[in-house]
A and B are shown apart, each in its own frame.
Chain A
Amino acid sequence: MIKFEGEHLLPGQLGHFFVILALVTSLISLISFFNASRIDQIEEKNQWLKFARINFFIQAFSIIAIFSTIFFICFHHYYEYMYAYKHASKELEPKFLLACIWEGQEGSFLLWAIWHSLLGVFIISIKNKDYKNTWQAPVLTVISMAQFFLMLMILGIYFFDIRIGNSPFTLTRNEIPAPIFSQTNYLTFLKDGMGLNVLLRNYWMVIHPPILFLGFASTIVPFAFAYAGIQTKKYGEWIKPVLPWALFSACVLGVGIMMGGKWAYESLSFGGYWAWDPVENASLVPWLILIAGVHTMLIYKATGHSLRASYFFSILTFVFVLYSTFLTRTGILGDTSVHAFTEAGKAINVMIGLLVLSFALPMLSLFFIHYKKIPAIIKEEETSSREFWMFMGSLILFISSLFIIIITSIPVYSKTPFLKDLIIKIHNGPLAMPEDAEFIYNKVMIMVAIILGFITATTQYLKYKATPSAYLIKNIKYPLIIAIILCISISILYPFTFHKHGAGFLVAIYIAFFCSVYAVVANAMYIPLVLKNNFKSASASISHIGFSLMIAGMLISSSNKQVISDSKVNGITLPLSNDAMAKKQDNPTENLTLIRQMPTRMGDYEVTYLKDSMGNEKGRSFYALQFEKKEKNNKKIDESFKLQPDVYLMKDNNMSSNPDTKSFLTKDVFTYISFAMNKERNADTAQFKVVEIGEGDTGFYRNGYYILNKVVKNPNNEKYHYNPNSIALMADITFVSRDSMRYRSTPLVEADSMGILQYDDTVYAQNLFVKFVGVSDHHKIKIGIKESDSLIDFVTVKSYIFPYINLVWLGLVIMAFGIMMSSLKRAEINPKLASIILTLVSAGLIYMFLLAN
């Protein structure tokens, strides 16, 4: 056996040991919790419980140990480990170290497992008697089972010829067949890792995966309680303890999804926060079902109806979380998604498939077997009752989620045997999304928004059981009237201008906007009108206000999104010279080239590309763009700001672009670099032409003439700082181009003890390099001028205005606040603690979504 130099093998062995320990203890705790749940005799039950808890604690500790080990390996850049080599690199800022752990499959499974452990430990530590005697055993059975599966995913042990799971502790030399590994000192050559994908180097990437995974992980609790309800045969009693959990999960998952949206908006260049990308849809679907479930649970608590639906939705939420794991991690989405994980091997795909099935199938069959035993009220709800319309709302949510997942799963159909052949036969080829993939979702979801907006507004004013119509009319007329007035005035002052899909769709947008405004107003007025300003019971109204405000914000910011980098307004761009087809184009082009120092009109702004500068990391450049908005009459600048979008330019001309956004209260100006030149490839071959010139003299260049205004001795201005004792001369030259644009240039020459130093100046807009060559006789100086073709420094940008996008984030924060408030109230947490938690959560969310930029 060869001994390699400089390897640190201990952390890996330790990590691997903890993986196995966690696997074994989770299996033991699964079995013992299961046994405990089936035994009625208190003493024996408690013995099993105690044993199970110890094992669960050990597995929780082990998982945290595994995570710490991976962190340690990446932190110390131990590239002998594959995980560090693949995901870490030395130039990476420390804050991204966590991001590089969850960049990989193994790391994100681990993150999930950590949350399961913490949730499990939390549930064990709840002192409530019902929890201890009834719910703990069955609920933890399910969580332990999930842990067992997740540990299998990162086990990495060969079983005959099949590798079970991918271990994060494999060694680089065992994974990659390269000749270098025959040398015992290979590590001295392995100086740096591949590093974090540049798209992921954004602070949202550090915080959004943990929140999203907490959301995913917490959906196991309602699922586990549904199991507990059937297992203990206390069919209806699980609803009360599970409600706070379901609400918590709804809050966290909702926030996590929108954080993902905010990440996409801020760091990806697909121009928005939501693109109906399969990966986004896969996390939205469980959330929609969960919200449906929360509402049916509330119905059950108030009236005894909808218990079966509560079971069904609780089960499906987690099943769809698992299914979304399957979609995003098996590489099955491959050609359809921008940011799905890539395929990590057949064996792991089979395992993920097994994970989905081994939770979905037993639980769904359990549900259907016991379906008849789950109590249900035979008498139907009154049409005027609140529960009836709440149920309808849930149903709409559920159907819309089914619709989304059916479309999202299109790539799956083409990989399913038989179905695949059938599709090819009928459709004349493998099924792919239509030309406007987003519209297919939007045109259905806008109907959903209309119905939901209307139901959330009106249902609040209905009573459980039955509502006298006089009561409804008395209360609802004011919100309705106010909403109508509000909507009409907004429509007149700020009409929607989304004509892409015709008048019908525009009308639908208006109706949806009205419904969401109506929902905001009705829910807000519900607090004084019906609740008599009792804020403690206003959590539902607050959540609904947030949700509806978010929808309203989405409608405005998407419908009235404005492309300001439209090439049509561009003065420089030669009108489509080499593009014969251009005249037939229906959608306007969206890219605009900005030449350095040359102000260019973009919408209401005049934009100047000032300069580029290097970032801390290799290959990262920032481009400073000055935006100025001038008053029409006196040209006074009344809005001025600088944006610094950046680009990672790799040595092979690979490029990744990060947008920059200026946020105003009422709009965002969003800009990213869609093309940037790679400097190194642009060698300049032109020569300086030297001329002799005196103060006040003029000369000519290719595109105009220039004047030497004066020669300044030891200048002290914003650019140069010399004291009277220095020996420095600055030439002040004005270049006037044929189109009468004036550009100032100030090259300088300095003599000190070291010799002569020249500071050249550039007039990018005119392709000029200007050099102060020296002094000659008769008060004349020598100026070198270089006119270059390759000098043109430019960037191509795309720029959008998103109006009122802050409504989306504000709505989200309000919704999260409302749901959290409801969760804490139903968990009967003492009010002081609850208000502290709420304050912290809302402060954090406001900071993250609205202030930090």
Chain B
Amino acid sequence: MKKTSIIILIGIAALIVSLLLFSVDFSTYDTIASARKKEGKFVHLIAKLDKTQSITYDPINNPNFLSFYIVDSLGEKSKVVYHNSKPGDLEKSERIVLKGKMGKDYFDCKDILLKCPSKYKDDKKVLEKSMKEQTASN
């Protein structure tokens, strides 16, 4: 077998892999409204915690049930159910990326990624806020 023919074979293999990749069901970033149109499809939502509604988490009864409400930049709201423990900084988060499927009554969340101000030290607004808190307490 010649080297070139092997390389061609590997090239074909790479092509098959890339075709396979296309067949993978890549997800999308959606708003709550557009996710409702794709009920049952795995999507990524970017939203905020709706602080007007309460968070339900009772770890003594069930440490694997968390529910809360989110609101996205268009003002659309939705209930979220997450079968896992409550991320510690949920209340503090500025932005939440939720991965999961939109159902009839709520968003069935598989994974949560929080964007917290504490991680955003380079953000000017956060610095200002922290400075105000500190100097005000003195």
Sampled A-B contacts (18; CB under 8 Å): A180-B135, A189-B138, A190-B135, A197-B118, A342-B120, A396-B10, A432-B43, A434-B24, A576-B65, A577-B62, A578-B56, A578-B61, A590-B64, A654-B116, A675-B57, A675-B59, A677-B59, A794-B59
- Residues from 110 to 125 in B contacting A, C-beta threshold 8 Å: 110, 113, 115-116, 118-124
Question: Which residues of chain B have C-beta atoms less than 8 A from A581's C-beta?
Answer: 81, 108
Q: A335-B97, A380-B3, A567-B62 given as contacts; is B113 within 8 A of A192 (CB)?
A: no
Nearest residue (CB) in A for B3 is: A380
Nearest residue (CB) in B for A648 is: B88
B42 and A434 within 8 A (CB): yes
B65 and A578 within 8 A (CB): yes
* Bound CA–CA A376/B11 (angstroms): 22
Interface of A is mostly: loop
Question: Which residues of chain A have C-beta atoms less than 8 A from B75's C-beta?
Answer: none
Interface membership of A470, Cβ < 8 A: no
Interface membership of A837, Cβ < 8 A: no
Interface membership of A162, Cβ < 8 A: no
Task: Give A385-410 as 1s and 0s: 1 = Cβ < 8 Å from B's Cβ atoms.
Answer: 00010011001100100010001001
B63 and A652 within 8 A (CB): no
A654 and B88 within 8 A (CB): yes
Interface membership of A593, Cβ < 8 A: yes
Nearest residue (CB) in B for A388 is: B3
Question: Which residues of chain A have C-beta atoms less than 8 A from B7's C-beta?
Answer: 395
Interface membership of A798, Cβ < 8 A: yes
A429 and B84 within 8 A (CB): no
Question: Which residues of chain B have C-beta atoms less than 8 A from A344's C-beta?
Answer: 122
Interface membership of A574, Cβ < 8 A: yes
**Shortest CB distance B19–A (Å):** 12
Task: Give A568-605 as 1s and 0s: 1 = Cβ < 8 Å from B's Cβ atoms.
Answer: 00001110111101100100011111010000000000
A656 and B88 within 8 A (CB): yes
Question: Which residues of chain A have C-beta atoms less than 8 A from B124's C-beta?
Answer: 175-176
**Shortest CB distance A24–B (Å):** 28
- Residues from 533 to 581 in A contacting B, C-beta threshold 8 Å: 567, 572-574, 576-579, 581
Interface membership of A435, Cβ < 8 A: yes
Task: Give A643-675 as 1s and 0s: 1 = Cβ < 8 Å from B's Cβ atoms.
Answer: 000010110111111000000000000000011
Question: Which residues of chain B have C-beta atoms less than 8 A from A794's C-beta?
Answer: 59-60
- Residues from 54 to 81 in B contacting A, C-beta threshold 8 Å: 56-65, 81
* Bound CA–CA A585/B64 (angstroms): 11
A796 and B59 within 8 A (CB): yes
**Shortest CB distance B25–A (Å):** 5
Nearest residue (CB) in B for A338 is: B113
B4 and A380 within 8 A (CB): yes
| CB < 8 Å neighbour of A399 from B2, B6, B14 | B14
Interface of B is mostly: mixed
Task: Give A780-799 as 1s and 0s: 1 = Cβ < 8 Å from B's Cβ atoms.
Answer: 00000000000010101010
Number of residues on chain A facing chain B (CB within 8 A): 79
Q: A197-B119, A380-B2, A429-B30 given as contacts; is B128 within 8 A of A176 (CB)?
A: yes
**Shortest CB distance B94–A (Å):** 12
**Shortest CB distance B72–A (Å):** 14
Q: A654-B92, A796-B59 given as contacts; is B26 within 8 A of A589 (CB)?
A: no
Question: Which residues of chain B have C-beta atoms less than 8 A from A431's C-beta?
Answer: 26-28
Question: Which residues of chain A have C-beta atoms less than 8 A from B115's C-beta?
Answer: 335
Residue with the highest number of chain A CB atoms closer than 10 Å, among B43, B108, B123, B134? B134
Interface membership of B33, Cβ < 8 A: no
Interface membership of A444, Cβ < 8 A: yes
Question: Which residues of chain A have C-beta atoms less than 8 A from B92's C-beta?
Answer: 652-654
With A567-B63, A574-B61 given, can you name 11 additional A-B contacts, CB distance below 8 Å? A176-B127, A335-B29, A429-B43, A431-B28, A573-B61, A576-B64, A578-B65, A589-B84, A653-B92, A654-B92, A796-B85
Interface membership of A178, Cβ < 8 A: yes
A178 and B131 within 8 A (CB): yes
* Bound CA–CA A590/B83 (angstroms): 9
| CB < 8 Å neighbour of B27 from A399, A433, A577 | A433
**Shortest CB distance B103–A (Å):** 8
| CB < 8 Å neighbour of B64 from A190, A380, A430, A567 | A567
A432 and B28 within 8 A (CB): yes
Question: Which residues of chain B have C-beta atoms less than 8 A from A440's C-beta?
Answer: 21, 24
- Residues from 425 to 475 in A contacting B, C-beta threshold 8 Å: 427-435, 440, 444
**Shortest CB distance A175–B (Å):** 7
Question: Which residues of chain B have C-beta atoms less than 8 A from A589's C-beta?
Answer: 63-64, 83-84
Interface membership of A695, Cβ < 8 A: no
Question: Which residues of chain B have C-beta atoms less than 8 A from A194's C-beta?
Answer: 121, 130
* Bound CA–CA A388/B121 (angstroms): 51
Residue with the highest number of chain A CB atoms closer than 10 Å, among B17, B85, B116, B127? B85
| CB < 8 Å neighbour of B28 from A177, A380, A428, A579 | A428
A574 and B131 within 8 A (CB): no
Question: Which residues of chain A have C-beta atoms less than 8 A from B110's C-beta?
Answer: 435
Interface membership of A750, Cβ < 8 A: no
Interface membership of A381, Cβ < 8 A: yes
| CB < 8 Å neighbour of A653 from B29, B64, B91 | B91
Interface membership of A421, Cβ < 8 A: no
* Bound CA–CA A392/B1 (angstroms): 13
A178 and B84 within 8 A (CB): no
Q: A399-B10, A434-B42, A796-B85 given as contacts; is B118 within 8 A of A427 (CB)?
A: no
B135 and A189 within 8 A (CB): yes
* Bound CA–CA A576/B60 (angstroms): 11
| CB < 8 Å neighbour of A435 from B27, B116, B123, B128 | B27
Interface membership of A191, Cβ < 8 A: yes
Interface membership of B32, Cβ < 8 A: no
Interface membership of B89, Cβ < 8 A: yes
Interface membership of B86, Cβ < 8 A: yes
B91 and A434 within 8 A (CB): no
Residue with the highest number of chain A CB atoms closer than 10 Å, among B30, B59, B84? B59
Closest 3 CB pairs of A and B: A655-B88, A429-B28, A589-B64
Nearest residue (CB) in A for B29 is: A430
**Shortest CB distance B55–A (Å):** 11
Interface membership of A343, Cβ < 8 A: yes
A429 and B85 within 8 A (CB): no
* Bound CA–CA A75/B95 (angstroms): 34
Nearest residue (CB) in B for A389 is: B6
Interface membership of A86, Cβ < 8 A: yes
* Bound CA–CA A294/B113 (angstroms): 38
Interface membership of A491, Cβ < 8 A: no
Interface membership of A383, Cβ < 8 A: yes
Nearest residue (CB) in A for B100 is: A435
Question: Which residues of chain A have C-beta atoms less than 8 A from B120's C-beta?
Answer: 342
* Bound CA–CA A444/B62 (angstroms): 37
* Bound CA–CA A427/B25 (angstroms): 10
**Shortest CB distance A105–B (Å):** 8
Nearest residue (CB) in A for B6 is: A392
**Shortest CB distance B3–A (Å):** 5
* Bound CA–CA A403/B3 (angstroms): 22
* Bound CA–CA A830/B93 (angstroms): 57
Nearest residue (CB) in A for B28 is: A429
Residue with the highest number of chain B CB atoms closer than 10 Å, among A87, A392, A414, A675? A675
Q: A573-B62, A581-B108, A653-B92 given as contacts; is B128 within 8 A of A432 (CB)?
A: no
A178 and B121 within 8 A (CB): no
Task: Give A164-202 as 1s and 0s: 1 = Cβ < 8 Å from B's Cβ atoms.
Answer: 000000000001111010000010011110100100000
Interface membership of B44, Cβ < 8 A: yes
